[in-house]
Amino acid sequence: MAIYHFAVKVISRNSSKSAVASAAYRSGDKLTDERQSVTFDYHKKEVAYSEIVLPKNAPVEYANRATLWNAVEKIEKQANAMTAREWEVAIPNELNLEQSKYLVKNFAQSLADEGICVDCNIHWKSGNHHAHILGTTRPLKKDGTWGTKERKGYALDKDGNKIPLIDETTGKQKVRVRPGKGVEKLWLRETIEVNNWNTKEKLLEWRKRWADMVNSALAKAKIADRVDYRSNKDRGLLDQPTIHEGFRARQIEMQGGVSERCEINRCIKRRNAELHEILQQLAVQQAELDKILQEEREHDERIRKFLERRAAFRATGADAERIRLSTGGESSIPAGNSGRSDDSYDTTAREIADRERQINKIIERREREAAEARRQREEAERRKRESEEAERRARAEAQKRAEDERRCYSWSEPPDRGFSR
């Protein structure tokens, strides 16, 4: 089935990473970082597609990978600057290479339409098709020059008013004296980003956009599978998500070793399978309970109709006896019984009594059936409670094991490496 993987991370000098080196690795290209005077040469057979996608106002020379990323490194002055952002996405194995190229380029173009210079690359590994999409973190101005990432502005309260900068020693608003301008009050200032590229809301928007594009590509390829960008929790699923294994963990497994991360994922999958089994048992028992309740409702409806009919027969018998007594046993015949003798009234009364006895027997049998149905319902409810308790214990145990595993293990991602499913 189609797998959804969408991870966004930043390339930062704070972690000793270079945008030029990152671009060289992901594109399988040879690039020289002019700032460091270092050449990075990564030739990869797995890179099946590589292209630069630019905004409309970008300089044409940025279509060259080396020119683009060296320009990025040049404009960033801070030692901890974020030089690039990476979107790491899984491509459904059900799509062929041409369909995958179209999908990745469409997503890259949507980012370029937001003002991001994009460097997209597809790694076509067997059973692990994915793309590394690098984008600039600094926007371009209309003239094609680099803009600012952030600016300083006044912090505002909930009513939109400026917030005074308070002196902790006096508890009053700070002031300063400026030559020629007199005393000036000071106000709290804050850093304001010029776009929303670093917000959680934007991340969720990108995640949904990729999922929508993947599903559209699957539909065009006449593939029934679909992906969902939401987490298991948001989708109402009880499955514990697996952790990211990474390049090194899979390499250990391929060499015959046992990776801790891969082993954790195997444990998670076993626990999820146990949980699915419990949920399946619970669904079966719920279906049994629903069936018993439906039969009980039908039984109650039949009893109600029998009681109505018995009451009607009793009323008919009482009317016949009352008419016979009022005539003194004469042969006068009540309306609706033309042509019937006194003996016929006795026969009718006996028939009514027989019918009443039959109805009573039926009612007794139905009551026995109702009692049995109640017993079965109580048994089904008991089994359901036991399954729910087993499910609760399984979830609590899985959560505890997951917390223990997180406390026991701590990993760091390998620099500039791909990902594995």
> Does residue 352 surpass a pLDDT of 80?
no
Domain total of the chain: 3
Q: Which amino acid is at 137?
A: T
Q: Is residue 414 part of a domain?
A: no
Measured distance CA(275)–CA(391) in Å, rounded: 7
Q: Domain check: are 221 and 142 in the same one? A: yes
pLDDT of residue 364: 77
Beta-ladder partners of 13? none
Confidence grade of residue 324 (pLDDT, cut at 50, 70, 90): low
Query: Cβ distance 62 to 138 under 8 Å?
Result: no
User: Residues 6 or more apart from 12 whose CB is under 8 A from it?
Assistant: 80, 81, 82, 83
Single out the residue of 246, 276, 20, 296 nearest to residue 130, CA to CA.
246
Q: Residue 137 phi/psi, 5° resolution?
A: -95, -15
pLDDT of residue 339: 45
Q: Domain check: are 218 and 320 in the same one? A: no
Q: Domain check: are 125 and 164 in the same one? A: no
Q: Domain check: are 106 and 139 in the same one? A: yes
- As given in the structure block, the two tokens for residue 53 are 């996608």
DSSP at 246: H
Q: Domain check: are 281 and 334 in the same one? A: yes
Query: Cβ distance 154 to 188 under 8 Å?
Result: yes
* DSSP run (H or E) holding 318: helix 260-326
- N residues, the chain: 421
Q: Is residue 260 part of a domain?
A: no
Question: What pLDDT digit, counting tens, does each position of 112-156 carry?
Answer: 999 999 999 999 988 789 999 999 999 898 899 998 886 667 788
CATH code, domain carrying 131: 3.30.930.30
Long-range contacts of 199-205 (CB under 8 A, 24+ apart): 203/8, 204/229
Is 0.75 surpassed by the pTM of this model?
Answer: no
Q: Domain check: are 74 and 161 in the same one? A: no
Q: Is residue 64 part of a domain?
A: yes
In which domain, by residue range, is 116 found? Answer: 6-147+198-229
Beta-ladder partners of 190? 153
Measured distance CA(78)–CA(137) in Å, rounded: 14
Query: Cβ distance 213 to 133 under 8 Å?
Result: no
Q: Domain check: are 40 and 125 in the same one? A: yes
Q: Domain check: are 71 and 203 in the same one? A: yes
Q: Domain check: are 138 and 166 in the same one? A: no
Strands, E assignment, 186-325? 189-193
Give SS3 for 145: coil
